[in-house]
Structure 1
Amino acid sequence: MSRGSGHAPRHWYADAPVPLAARALAGLYGAVAGLRRDLYRRGVLRRQRVAVPVIVVGNLVAGGSGKTPLTIALVERLRAAGWTPGVASRGYGRADAGTPRWVEAGTDPALGGDEPVLVATRTGARVRVDRDRVAAARALLAEGCDIVVCDDGLQHYRLERDLEIEVIDGRRRYGNGRLLPAGPLREPPARGEGCDFRVLNVGEATDLAAGFGEWPMWFEAGPARPMRGGRSKPLSAFAGQRVHAVAGIGDPERFFAMLRGHGIAVVPHAFGDHHAYTAEDLRFGSDLPVLLTEKDAVKCAAFATDRYASVGIDARLPEAFWVALLDRLPAAPRKESASP
């Protein structure tokens, strides 16, 4: 079952003809985007630097590729290395997109954005949403953050960055290889070659092959956490059962496949990325358990019942990746010890 808006056009990732109008618009889009990149490269448009290191996690395609799980893992790893990270995000799909806002675990996703709320909930880090990422980075600096992680923003060239990480969907990659709207690409694939790190979202730990300078990233599923309170259950507790599975992410099939891999009989319900849920969306006509991604669960808390559970994932990467990334950064600032 597939509902909601925001699904990729069929010709992006399937063997389907590209409309002529989309091809013409892609040529115009490519010219404008290329001119903008060139103006920044030549210094006609000026980049702005903030007084702390900036790491941008992004992708070249429209839609999800695993950026947010990597952002969460990056924040946690930086904190373990002695940094105080803050997260800057546009907060895609916010109702008041023009208003800068601090996002916390209890922020309404309609105001803060589903992904920023998830990042704040999982990490406890300071999260700032703002169309102007330079302003967001400066706000984080004023709050005591000594390193900024941008969740998305590879194309936001005005903010100078110290490291760029491109995240690639290992299953869909660059689709048909065309620029928007003829294909999914916001920039040509060659843009990724200039990034400091390229992370390949392989999805499953059993498929870790990566090459061409790409680091594999895989996901480990957590337990199913009831959204109305109660004890968490391992996914194995649902093995052999039918469940409604809800995913409004870039590639819903990844979530469904993960559940099937635990022996769960999935009744799939795919929605568009960043879908704004209503209670009516989740009335499925049966009393089966409902398993949602964490990103979807933050938007469904108001009308969840005791049948609803959130399934989180943790991004995992080779230890060598973290060593290489931290080696590219200066030493974390020394924190002053509290007085006894």
Structure 2
Amino acid sequence: MRAPMFWHAPPGLWARLLSPLGAVYAGATRRRLARGPRARLDVPVICIGNLNAGGTGKTPTVIALATRLAARGIAVHAVTRGHGGTLQGPVRVVERQHTAAQTGDEALLLAAFLPTWVAKDRAAGARAAIAAGAQAILLDDGFQNPSLAHDLAVIVVDAHIGFGNGLVIPAGPLREPIATGLARADLILSIGDAQAQARFAQTWGAKVTLPHVTGTLAALQTGLPLAGMPVLAFAGIGHPEKFFRTLSAMGADLRATHALRDHQPLSDALMSRMLREAKTLGAQVVTTEKDAVRLAPALRAQVMTLPVRLEIADWTALDNAIARIMAERPAPP
């Protein structure tokens, strides 16, 4: 299901009519968090979460932080619930053994970068990771889950859309009110280009009193010449338009774009239609890393993948926060 347009516009009739249901949703989240056990583990837990429903850039953030922690010599593991997957866990994801249908696409992508565990019970997943040698846990999308205490909570927001209309589901895109969520967080990371960052600061800066880090998603140079290349692009991520804009900025000749649902299965019928369309247009099919892991192995050679990485110009606030929690709770040898 695509997000309604009114979620990202000034509150109008639909938003006002649905606001009472938003209050009910927010109340349910508040009560769930209040009664949670909040297990405290023997190693630091860094939660990468968001206030918005849908994609904001959490997966690239986990990858970037994992790289940063590994550079410090810290054995870090990721724990995720495996959205869209069938496995209950805890189970360590093995790229060549598991499929996206089992683990979810995000977990399968993360497993290429760091040890990753799928667990519907986040606390059980974290304990399994610790037993396997984890000295720190990166908790992917666990901010509204009450099972684990967080030593550091990072809220990720797409600077291009900010917090939408500022209202809670179904009146807006938020899982909980802005003030309520930010009160539990330690740091906010907004992701977007300079123009989007300026707009985010102007619109939401007064509400953001936490340390604020900015970052951008930059496409890796794959060696394939995108400039001038006829392309049929598809993406089943939170905001496919971001991917299409990236391709355009790189000079690709976008002949067709297909915005799929977030995590939408790439059925044989769907892929056959897109491959036929691409052949008719004389175009190369291009998709994201997260979508590529859902492709059938036989199709991967026909689809070009454009990887992106999170770039943070100033790591000071994050480095200081990581140093603090590691000093407060030294990881076991």
TM-score range, shorter chain: 0.7 to 0.9
1:313 pairs with 2:308: yes
Q: What's the CA shift for 1:68?
A: 0.3
Contact 2:190 2:197 (8 Å CA) reproduced:
no
1:271 to 240, 260, 267: 260
**Quick one: which of 7, 20, 45 aligns to 1:54?**
45
- Select 2:79's aligned residue among 88, 95, 109: 88
1 CA distance for matches of 2:246 and 2:55?
17
Once residues 196 and 304 of structure 2 are traced to their aligned partners in structure 1, the CA distance between those partners, rounded to angstroms, is 27
* TM-aligned CA deviation for residue 11 of structure 1: 2.1
Distance 1:63 1:313 in 2: 18
User: For structure 2, which runs of at least 5 residues remain unmatched after alignment?
Assistant: none
Offset at residue 23 of structure 1 (A): 3.3
1:219 is aligned to 217
CA distance in 2 between counterparts of 1:47 and 1:129 reads 19
Counterpart CA distance in 2 for 1:156 and 1:133 is 8
* SS of aligned partner of 2:326: coil
The match for 1:338 is: none
Report the residue type matching 1:247 in the other structure: A
Distance in 2, matches of 1:286 and 1:68, equals 29
The equivalent residue for 1:151 is 140
**Whole-angstrom CA distance in 2 between matches of 1:119 and 1:278:** 22
Q: Distance in 2 between matches of 1:22 and 1:94?
A: 31
**Distance between the aligned counterparts of 1:199 and 1:138, measured in 2?**
27
Matched AA of 1:300: L
Please tell me the residue identity of whatever aligns with 1:324: N
Tell me the CA shift for residue 250 of structure 1. 0.7
- Picking from 278, 281, 288, the partner of 1:286 is 278
User: Structure 1 length as normaliser, TM-score?
Assistant: 0.85
**CA–CA separation in structure 1 for the residues paired with 2:15 and 2:62:** 35
Partner of 2:37, secondary structure, is coil
Which of the numbers 287, 291, 299 marks the counterpart of 1:304? 299
| Kept after mapping to 2: 8 A contact 1:49/1:159 | yes
Q: Is the 8 A contact 1:65 1:250 kept in 2?
A: yes
Displacement, 1:184?
1.1
Amino acid paired to 1:83: I
Maintained 8 Å contact 1:290/1:307: yes
Name the structure 2 match of 1:18. 14
Identical columns (%): 34
2:186 aligned with 1:196: yes
- 5+ residue gaps, structure 1, are 1-5, 225-232, 336-340
1:326 alignment partner in structure 2: 322
1:33 pairs, out of 13, 29, 33, with 29
Name whichever structure is richer in helix by fraction: 2
Which of 197, 217, 234 is equivalent to 1:246?
Answer: 234
| Distance of aligned partners of 1:311 and 1:23 in 2 relative to their CA distance in 1, 3 Å threshold | same
Question: 1:142 and 1:208, CA in 2 relative to 1: closer, same or farther beyond 3 A?
Answer: same
Structure 2-normalised TM-score?
Answer: 0.86
Q: Please, which moves more after superposition, 28-37 or 77-86?
A: 28-37
Question: Residue by residue, what CA displacement relative to the aligned partner does 1:76-127 show, whole Å, maximum 9, x if unpaired?
Answer: 110111100011001111134x343221222201001100100001x1x221
CA positional deviation for 1:24: 3.6
Cα separation, 1, equivalents of 2:296 and 2:178: 38
Query: Secondary structure of 2:48's partner?
Result: strand
SS at match of 1:31: helix
CA-based RMSD = 2.1
CA contact (8 A) 1:279 1:303 kept: no
SS at match of 2:32: helix
Task: Say whether residues 1:131 and 2:129 are aligned partners.
Answer: no
